[in-house]
Chains A and B, each alone.
Chain A
Amino acid sequence: MNYTDDARNMLERYLWEVEKLLPLMKRRDLIREMTSNLLDMLESRSSSEEITKEQMTEFLQEHGSPRQIARAYHRPEPLISQEFFPLFKLILTITTAVLGGLFLFRLLISIFQGEGTAILPLVGELFSGLTSLLGALVITFYLLQRFIPSWKIADDEPWDAASLEPLEHRKPPKRIESILSILLSAVFILILTLFRHRLTFCIDPSGLCLRVPVLGPGFLALIPLIVIRLAAGMVHSLILAVKARWSEPLRIGELALTFTDIGIIILLLQGPPDKFFRFDLMEELEQFASVAPILRWVYTGILLLILVLTSLEVISSIRQMISRPANRLPV
């Protein structure tokens, strides 16, 4: 049995809407079984070779609204009821984002002020803040649903399957982009492992070219971590190029890689720039003396810019993971 893209995306949207309302602990397994059963039902009642969007709409309309389907899997007295859960999730997302933003802001200030060692207490504060926030919200909602008459799901709740927007998946990068990324990472790994001694500049005080390494001891100490990150990125790109579609593990892998990037950038900001790049040696040269202080600022500025952009990327990836699941249908 074939499905048009619209029909498949619509079914995925429907399943995603149901999944969001299922009990958290077993939702993956439930949705897997539900998918299998739905496809069985769909295929047993269709005589055509291909399921169209219209047929899918009609089927989902008869099947029932995601809220009604999910309701049957909830225990009568959950800590936060299904009716309240979407609101709970929305408030939790907003407050977590605000808390995360404040954390990032304080982190940037701490880095600007050169208080590298103050990062750990900040992470501790963030953890404690998130825990308190979650606890306070759970208690508030628990009390709310006990004292406010809950908004029940009626058996004849209006449901319009045609209003479901087909789920658009994030497209994987083109194969050529993945291959280029793999090649680029390989080149960087080679440079950082075999040819790092060639990354030098020439100090020429008396007509003799004296080669001085560009990389400082701080950077050299980070090379193993950077190489592992690049190698992991190569594996990730390779799997993505072969599979040609995003899956949950690949998305989690991408997120882990981005977190590693953030970690490396933060480490590169720990301490004076001369520790990582030999701007101090450069400053000793007459022709570079005026440029070296600017390069120090450029170094810090670029890293901070990358840190902000990478953090935004993390937020966007998490948002996408929450709002758009990876392809799950076995069709």
Chain B
Amino acid sequence: MNQDEQMLLDRLVQELKRGNLTVAVMSRLTEEEHYGYSLLQELSVRGLDINQDTLYPMLRRLEEQNLLESRWDVDSSRPRRYYRLSSSGKEIFQALVDAWLSMEDIIRSMIR
């Protein structure tokens, strides 16, 4: 693979990742709450390394869409903003997972 092809592949992989990122982020916020950096680490431990420039604005956007709710914790060593799925976020997440699984089945059947 030459350099141009490699760059193109990188970009396509990035796009693929970006499309699935919302599901990944929401999945980590269904049961427990996370602040920005702890979520970044949680995703990284599970093999999904994403840039903080992508994650933090995404959390804000999901909150604006009422999929997440947040609170400031000022009792710890430094103030942190914790996020978790809202009730409407949980419903939408479930529907999103169903759509994702169905899409996965379709793609699998196509590439086999």
Contacts and interface: CB of A to CB of B under 8 A. Distances in A.
A36 B57 CA distance: 15
A33 B36 contact: yes
User: Interface majority SS on A: helix, strand, loop or mixed?
Assistant: helix
Contacts of B54: 72
B79 A37 contact: no
Q: Is the interface of B mostly helix, strand, loop or mixed?
A: helix
A69 B80 CA distance: 19
A330 B56 contact: no
A137 interface: no
Given A41-B37, A72-B53, A72-B54, A36 B80 contact: yes
B78 A36 contact: yes
Contacts of B37: 36-37, 40-41, 44
B52 interface: yes
Given A36-B36, A40-B37, A73-B60, A330 B79 contact: yes
A63 to B, nearest CB: 8
Contact of B79 (A30, A36, A64, A68): A36
B18 interface: no
Contacts of B38: 40
Most chain B CB inside 10 Å of its own CB: which residue of A34, A39, A40, A69: A40
Contact of B81 (A33, A39, A44, A68): A33
Given A37-B37, A44-B37, A68-B53, A30 B60 contact: yes
Chain A, interface size: which category? 10 to 19
B82 to A, nearest CB: 10
Contacts, number: 41
Q: Identify the interface centre among A30, A36, A41, A330: most chain B CB within 10 Å of its CB.
A: A36
Contact of A41 (B52, B57, B60): B52
Interface residues of B, number: 15
B78 A39 contact: yes
Contacts of A331: 78
Interface in A214-235: none
B79 A72 contact: no
A64 B53 contact: yes
A160 B103 CA distance: 44
A69 B55 CA distance: 12
A32 interface: yes
Contact of B53 (A33, A36, A69): A69
Contact of A72 (B41, B56, B80): B56
Contacts of A32: 79, 81
Interface string A21-47: 000000000101110110111001000
A68 B60 CA distance: 17
A41 B40 CA distance: 10
Nearest to A26: B60
Interface string B34-51: 011110010000000000
11 contacts: A33-B56, A33-B81, A36-B78, A36-B79, A36-B80, A37-B35, A37-B37, A37-B56, A41-B52, A69-B53, A73-B57
Interface of B: 35-38, 41, 52-54, 56-57, 60, 78-81
Query: 8 closest pairs, A vs B, by CB?
Result: A40-B37, A72-B57, A37-B36, A33-B81, A72-B53, A330-B78, A37-B37, A36-B80
Given A72-B57, A73-B57, 18 more contacts: A32-B79, A32-B81, A33-B36, A33-B56, A36-B35, A36-B36, A36-B78, A36-B79, A37-B52, A39-B78, A40-B36, A41-B52, A44-B37, A64-B53, A68-B53, A72-B54, A72-B56, A73-B60
